[in-house]
Amino acid sequence: MDVLGISAFYHDSAAALVRDGRVVAAVQEEAFSRRKHDAAFPRAAIAHCLEAGGTSLERLAAVVFYDKPFLKFERLLETYLTTAPRGFASFRRAMPVWLREKLFQKDLLRRELRTLSGSGRSSRLPPLLFSEHHLSHAASAFYPSPFENALVLTLDGVGEWATTSVAEGAGRSLAVLRELHFPHSLGLLYSAFTHHLGFRVNAGEYKVMGLAPYGEPVYLRRILDHLIDLKEDGTFRLDQSYFDYCAGSTMTSRRFDALFGGPPRAPEEPLTRRHLDLAASVQAALEEAVLRLTRALARETGARHLCLAGGVALNAVANGRVVRDGRFDEVWVQPAAGDAGGALGAALAGYHLTLEGPRAPAGGGDGMRGALLGPAFEQPDVERRLAALGARFAVLGDRELIADTARALAGGRIVGWFQGAGEFGPRALGNRSILADPRAPEMQQALNLRTKFRESFRPFAPAVLEEEAGAWFELDRPSPYMLLVVPVQERHRVAEPAGAALEGLARLGVPHSTIPAVTHVDGSARVQTVSRETNPRFHALIEAFGERTGCPILVNTSFNVRGEPMVATPEDAFRCFMGTGIDRLVVGNCVLEKAEQPAALRHDQRDVVEPD
Amino acid sequence: MSFLSDLWAFLRVRRKFWLLPIILVMLLFAGLALVGQGSTVAPFLYTLF
């Protein structure tokens, strides 16, 4: 039985196909449209999922949308009524779109699906179902998890009403136990600071997390005393006089600015000590709230397994704290924890809860299959596509390819690595990756400034052989999705120069371990463990690099530049390669050297970079 | 028609019947505004509102 899940119309549109409860394919629309966080109806993503599953719309058991538009409209209306007349300007902007389109989303979806099936009004479409936003998130975290029974904690900005929810999963069943409602939201609290720090809401939250270790949480007390009334069990309320998202068009109010000693930072304005401290403070507040929640849940329910989903679950630092806190035996985080993953959760909820499809025994396996669920390209197709672009490449055998690439990486080259199926979710996990040597002290800044064209403070993640992870990081379990930040083992750490008394961004560029390119200023790393079973080729490459250098770790960052989605096709990969500081591109078994490419095909990708 | 029956089902489940007049008036306004765009209905609209 095939079920298609869709998320669309807000941000990160995506489609996912589930067959008998197993994930067949999942991909974001941005991969095809090349617009980051594309919110359009995911036409190309759906077409890809159907093709990957060898099926058609007419043969599906159901199509499930990831949230409930009427419920969202109810929240909007009630919020406007509560804040009237203050929110009139926002009301006037929002209502036309709702009254014209969004309120009629069922018809809109049917129309889009009919267009996609190409068979006109008479065609038979499968039933169209709607899953609640937080139920979709919870389903995306519970059903693919290796647990038969688990608690599911979903934290995000807002869905319909829920901003925080706890669900209980057991076998096929999944029920939401309790919820906290809008406007009280940890996601929106974090986004308010993201806005205040001059980054884009719904996109720049990673930057706040990356910035936090450069500062001190000196504003934490102020946040806890004024902004958030955080109870012992982790439940909370936000004082709305400091925010403006209910009635206005920005996140924060003037009172917020007064409390934190200045107006919001303009994008690209220099980061000051105050900004770093604000980032550190909101990160500390978030961790405190999440820990109180998970501790209270463990205490009240006695559950041993925890699943996390929702945009806040992408905060790998907070996840790392939850794991190290040890209240749960195991913690599993959905890699596409944001709204894109809602498409997958909607399909799974439709299959298990509405169609009552059985859940295969979890058996300790990971239903996400390494999140490698996107489009893949056969070797002859890759060669044909590259040749059509005028690229010059050599085709190597598997063994030679691994040895040769490991040699290039050990020699300090930056490698674009495009293999197999693309990743679902915001992280490159070794199939659409830019790879480099983590031992080189200058690598972080070189990658940030010359290859990714992004802020120099942003850290990179290590991809380490699963069997070697414990020797390098304080990590006693797999972290296949780069969703846990943990300390680098003490024996690999390097102290900052004595008497240097460096602070803030001045600490950037000072090695903090023997693998400085992937070690943040606080000695932590956002680890991805790579297993032979999930991604044998990537595992073999890291192993070969380890044999050559004694360091079974590579820098792994997404294959894109700032403001662009991850590359999705060999053509995208070649374009990115030719416009950035990547030295070598490996697509399937094709190897391309920058120096050998026609000069006419070079361009400066920096020219097309949009602020993100 | 399916929109109206879905909306009614929603209001019933949520027990939020008080939203119905608000939604209907807003839809009426939206519908009239749409019909009235640059058409002969415009003078009629002005006398109404």
Residue A214 has pLDDT above 90, yes or no: yes
Nearest to A311 by CA among A521, A5, A605, A10: A10
CATH number at residue A482: 3.90.870.20
Please check whether residues A298 and A354 belong to one and the same domain.
Answer: no
Tokens 């925010």: give the residue. Answer: A243
Residue A512 has pLDDT above 80, yes or no: yes
Distance CA A203, CA A194 (A): 9
CATH number at residue A257: 3.30.420.40
Sequence-separated (6 or more) residues with CB below 8 Å from residue A203 = A36, A37, A612
pLDDT digits (tens, 9 = 90+) for A513-568: 999 999 999 999 999 999 999 999 999 999 999 999 999 999 999 999 878 899 99
Please check whether residues A466 and A356 belong to one and the same domain.
Answer: no
Residues of B (5-24) whose Cβ lies below 8 Å from A = 6-7, 10, 14, 16, 19, 22-23
Taking the CA of residue B27 and the nearest CA in chain A, the distance in Å comes to 6
Please check whether residues A125 and A185 belong to one and the same domain.
Answer: no
Distance CA A328, CA A589 (A): 43
In a domain, A165, yes or no: no
Contact B6 A96 (CB under 8 A): no
In a domain, A371, yes or no: no
Q: φ and ψ at A566, to 5 degrees?
A: -60, 150
In a domain, A142, yes or no: no
* SS3 call for A528: strand
Please check whether residues A214 and A111 belong to one and the same domain.
Answer: no
Q: Which residues pair with B26 in a beta bridge?
A: none
The DSSP output letter for A47 is H
The string of DSSP letters for A85-128 reads: TTTHHHHHHHHHHHHHTGGGHHHHHHHHHHHHHTS-TTSPPPPE
Contact A107 B3 (CB under 8 A): yes
Cβ pair A188, A85 in contact under 8 A: no
Q: Which two tokens stand for residue A29?
A: 């629309």
Residue B48 has pLDDT above 60, yes or no: no
Helix (H) or strand (E) holding A415: strand A415-418
Contact B14 A71 (CB under 8 A): yes
Q: Which two tokens stand for residue A585?
A: 């591109």
Please check whether residues A514 and A584 belong to one and the same domain.
Answer: yes
Residue A459 exposed, middle or buried by CB count within 10 Å (0-12, 13-18, 19+) = buried
Please check whether residues A220 and A133 belong to one and the same domain.
Answer: no
- Write out chain B residues lying below 8 Å of A99, CB-based: 26-27, 30
* CA atoms B10, B14, B17, B20: torsion sign: negative
Taking the CA of residue B47 and the nearest CA in chain A, the distance in Å comes to 22
- Taking CA atoms, what residue in A is nearest to B17? A74
Sequence-separated (6 or more) residues with CB below 8 Å from residue A147 = A169, A305, A307, A330, A332, A362
Which residues in A50-81 are b (16+ Cβ under 10 Å) and which e?
bebbebebeebbbbbbbbbbbbbbbbbbebbe
Cβ pair A552, A543 in contact under 8 A: yes
Please check whether residues A201 and A325 belong to one and the same domain.
Answer: yes
pLDDT digits (tens, 9 = 90+) for A451-464: 888 888 888 999 99
Please check whether residues A327 and A393 belong to one and the same domain.
Answer: no
The amino acid sitting at A66 is Y
- Domain carrying residue A402: 379-608
| Strand runs labelled E in A20-61 | 22-28
Say how many domains are in chain A: 3
Residues of A (48-77) whose Cβ lies below 8 Å from B = 70-71, 74, 77
In a domain, A148, yes or no: no
Please check whether residues A50 and A115 belong to one and the same domain.
Answer: yes
pLDDT digits (tens, 9 = 90+) for A318-371: 999 999 999 999 999 999 999 999 999 999 999 999 999 999 765 667 899 999
* Listed range (A191-205, A230-244, A384-398, A435-449) with the worst mean pLDDT: A435-449
pLDDT digits (tens, 9 = 90+) for A590-602: 999 999 999 888 8
In a domain, A147, yes or no: no
Please check whether residues A258 and A323 belong to one and the same domain.
Answer: yes
Please check whether residues A423 and A541 belong to one and the same domain.
Answer: yes
- Taking CA atoms, what residue in B is nearest to A100? B30
In a domain, A60, yes or no: yes
The amino acid sitting at A364 is G
In a domain, A157, yes or no: no
Interface ipTM > 0.90:
no
Helix (H) or strand (E) holding A62: strand A62-65
Contact B30 A99 (CB under 8 A): yes
In a domain, A370, yes or no: no
Please check whether residues A540 and A500 belong to one and the same domain.
Answer: yes
Distance CA A166, CA B17 (A): 28
| Strand runs labelled E in A172-294 | 173-181, 228-230, 236-238
Q: φ and ψ at A237, to 5 degrees?
A: -135, 145
Output the pTM of the full model. Answer: 0.94
* SS3 call for A320: helix
Cβ pair A278, A211 in contact under 8 A: no
Contact A106 B23 (CB under 8 A): no
How many beta carbons lie within 10 A of that of residue A36, not counting itself? 18
Strand order from edge to edge, sheet including A432-436: A394-395, A590-593, A584-587, A415-418, A432-436, A553-558, A461-465, A524-530, A484-487
Residue B38 has pLDDT above 90, yes or no: no
